[in-house]
Every structure is written in C-alpha cells, then in structure tokens.
Amino acid sequence: MDYQFTIIVPVYNEEDNLIRVEQELLAYMKIASKKTKVLFVNDGSKDSSQEHIEAIASRHPEFKYISFKENRGLSAAIKAGFDYADTELVGYIDSDLQTAPEDFNLLLEHINDYHLVTGVRANRKDSFVKNMSSTIANGIRRTFTKDGMDDTGCPLKVIKTDYAKRIPMFEGLHRFLPAMILLQNGKIIQVPVQHFPRVAGQAKFGVWNRLIGPLMDCFAYLWMKKKYINYTVEKQN
C-alpha cells in the first residue's frame, strides 16, 4: 500500500494512554487527507508500554514500531522516527494526546508550499508554571534563532521527509526543528491547533528541561549554525 504520511509517536512510560492513542489515530486515518501510517518509537519504557505497542501493531498493519534498548530522550526518539520513515511526509504527535490527531489535516493543507508546518497551541490547558516557563523559553529561543515561531514545543508537526532526514539532531533539538529547516533554506509556517489537558500518565518535562535546558541548547544551535554545511548540486553526470 502506498502511504504518503508517517506519524511518529514517541513513547516513554505511557501505558495508560496507548489504547486511547490507538483509537484516536485509527479515527484520524478515516478522515486523513493523506494515506497515513503510524510509527511508535518506544524510548526505553520501563512499564508495559512495549506490550501495548506490540498488541496494537498485531491488530493493525498500518501501525509499526521500533523500541530502544534504553531511554535516550525525546530528541533521539524523533530522530529515529525520521531515520526509519519511508514516506514523502513525516509528522509527530505526543502519546499524551494533548493535541488532536485530526488537526494534522490543518497542517497538511499547507505542506505543498512549505517544508515544515508546526502547530501553535491555542488556549493551552497547562499549569501556570508550565505555560510561563514555556513562554519564556520560546522568547529566548526566538531571540537566538530568529525563526519567528511562537511555540516550537508544540507536539504536532508535519515536515517533508527529505528535509527531516537532513537535520543533524542533538539532545534538545526537537525545540529547534523550524530553525533547522531554515538552515536548509526551507520555508516554515505555524498554524493554530487545539490543546487539551493531560488525562493520564505523567509529564516528562519540568522547569529545568523546559527553561534552563533550552537556554543552554541555544548556544549549541548558534555553534551549529556557524558550522552548518548546506549545498545544492547544479549538475551531475
């Protein structure tokens, strides 16, 4: 079957959410504007997430998975998803489902004209501390990267796969995906999407990795921007 779009779902200790993930992604596939499949990336979960993932994959051939030997973090999980994707387009959504799969269609409307389309969470349903730390972190990142994006942490994105595969990922870089597309002379846009409270499982990010960590990552980005290799082949034989 010729799939056009792969949704990456990073998973770390999300056993209480995975049945809902299965149901909501199956519902999305019925209305998806592109022929869609799912790739779970189990980031070394220590609960029963892998058993749930394998059960889902056994029920539905459009659900695939890879599983890490040990926990390597969200950026590594997204990078592995990019590496294993074999469709023209790739996207990702968090397994906590605080964003809605059906909103992928809003992003896909723009992907012909852009190389990355990211959601921006409207009316975020998070705590004051979480919202404030994210707002500050996004402001710092915009100052460094000049990417113009208001919410790069939004876990709903669509990227042209050839651009995604060229991103030199490092830990924390999932917040810099729009900036990394700009380094490739790509075009980016943000689109408002729905946001919901977490209903199961535990958040994996605190104030440190939502605020202080991204500030340190900005310096890594500036170094990478200075050293980044980008070229276009005009002719070959």
- Predicted pLDDT at 152: 77
- Predicted pLDDT at 88: 98
Taking Cα atoms as reference points, which of 224, 118, 126 lies closest to residue 171? 224
Q: Quick check: 161 pLDDT over 80? A: yes
Please state the rounded mean pLDDT for residues 178-206: 80
48-73: pLDDT as tens digits: 999 999 999 999 999 999 999 999 99
- Predicted pLDDT at 215: 72
Please state the rounded mean pLDDT for residues 200-223: 66
Q: Which residue segments constitute the domains of the chain, with CATH numbers given?
A: 5-227 (3.90.550.10)
DSSP lists the bridge partners of residue 41 as 10, 66
Statement: the pTM of the whole predicted model exceeds 0.85: no
pLDDT, the chain, mean: 87
Please state the rounded mean pLDDT for residues 100-125: 92
- Predicted pLDDT at 228: 78
Q: How far is CA 157 from CA 57, 58, 104, 127, 144, in A?
A: 23, 27, 8, 23, 21
Instruction: Give me the percent of the chain exceeding a pLDDT of 70.
Output: 82
> Residues 211, 137: contact at Cβ < 8 Å?
yes
Please state the rounded mean pLDDT for residues 119-128: 69
Please state the rounded mean pLDDT for residues 65-84: 95
Taking Cα atoms as reference points, which of 164, 10, 166 lies closest to residue 95? 10
19-53: pLDDT as tens digits: 999 999 999 999 999 999 999 999 999 999 999 99
Query: Using 50, 70 and 90 to split pLDDT, how confident is the model at 176?
Result: confident
- Predicted pLDDT at 173: 78
- Predicted pLDDT at 232: 78
Please state the rounded mean pLDDT for residues 97-116: 97
- Predicted pLDDT at 210: 58
Please state the rounded mean pLDDT for residues 117-138: 68
**Look-up of token digits 């605020």:** 211
Query: Using 50, 70 and 90 to split pLDDT, how confident is the model at 145?
Result: low
